[in-house]
Amino acid sequence: MFAVIKTGGKQYRVAAEDTLKIDRVEGEVGQIVEIGRVLAHGEGDKVTIGSPFVEDATVTGEVVEQGRGPKVIAFKKRRRQNSRRTRGHRQLLTTVRISEILIGGAKPSRKAAAPKTVEAKPAAKAEEASARKVEPKEEAKAPAKKAEPQEEVKAAPLFKAPRGKGDDLTVIKGIGPVAAKDLNEQGITTFAQIAALTDEEITEIDAAMPFSTAQIEDWREQAKTLAAEKK
């Protein structure tokens, strides 16, 4: 006998002893749970189709494992908006083994398996007991040390800033105060530096900073004019 069930917004064709991964359902490992709703069931040529679900029909399964699916990375970038966003997602999944397909209001015959318990060895119990027996005086003698704050290590700037006072980069159309600050932190402080950028350096800036290649190339053309006027 087979059945078509719906769970987690998806449909599955299942039979007894089938193992499949579905969206997370509540249940401990070894527990028998009801899986979704039955859209259809049948055996051979005889098929019963629900509208939308078959009444008094259920599918039960044993929880084999509770886990997660593979990580999915979503990356979004808006050109000329200084916007980049990366997000990851791992879907919660449950691995189940189909136990029974019940029709006509029948109740499941299998019960949840009892969870296995591992008894601690006598030696381990003795070690735990001795570890718990700590005199108050000994605890006072050895106070816990406070963790010292670690210094943050900043990455080296992409370029070496020239000596002297830098230019006002906000004169370039498309560079605001925030973008100008970011560029200064990377060692770019003058019109002449931007005007002399090579294509390889533009690619390097695009990879390390939230600016697109087209943006930086436009800044380079404007900087050439401003650097020439400054001379």
What is the per-residue pLDDT for 4? 94
pLDDT digits over 77-112, tens only? 888 878 888 888 999 999 999 999 998 888 887 764
Q: Is the pTM of this model over 0.85?
A: no
Identify which of 175, 210, 203 has the alpha carbon closest to the alpha carbon of residue 189.
175
pLDDT above 90: residue 142: no
The confidence score (pLDDT) of residue 124 equals: 54
pLDDT at 114 over 60: no
pLDDT at 152: 52
Contacts of 171 (CB under 8 A, 6+ apart): 226
pLDDT at 206 over 90: no
Mean pLDDT estimate for the chain: 82
Q: What is the DSSP string of the chain?
A: -EEEEEETTEEEEEETT-EEEEE-----TT-EEE-SEEEEEEETTEEEE-SSS-TT-EEEEEEEEEEE---EEEEEEETTTTEEEEEEE--EEEEEEEEEEE-TTPPP---PPPPP--PPPHHHHHHHHHHH---HHHHHHSPPPPPPPPPP-PPPPSSPPPSSPPP-GGGSTT--HHHHHHHHHTT--SHHHHHT--HHHHHHHHHHSS--HHHHHHHHHHHHHHHHHH-
97 touches 110 (CB < 8 A)? no
Tens digits of per-residue pLDDT, 27-73? 899 999 988 789 999 988 899 999 889 988 999 999 999 999 898 99
CA distance 179 to 172: 11
* Residue 173 token pair: 């159309």
Domain ranges of the chain: 2-102, 169-230
Q: HSE of 115 in the Cβ direction (CA atoms, 13 Å)? A: 8
Check residue 141 and give its pLDDT: 56
Query: Within 13 A of 71's CA, how many CA atoms are on the CB side?
Result: 6
Average pLDDT over residues 166-182: 89
Q: Which two tokens stand for residue 64?
A: 């084999």
| Residues constituting the chain | 231
Lowest mean pLDDT among 60-74, 97-111, 139-153, 171-185: 139-153
pLDDT score for 120: 46
Tell me the one-letter amino acid at 95: T
Task: Report which of residues 138 and 32 the model is more confident about.
Answer: 32
- Predicted confidence (pLDDT) per residue in 190-202, tens digit: 999 899 999 988 8
The pLDDT, as a whole number, for residue 111 is 63
Architecture of domain 169-230 in CATH?
A: Orthogonal Bundle (1.10)
pLDDT value of residue 227: 87
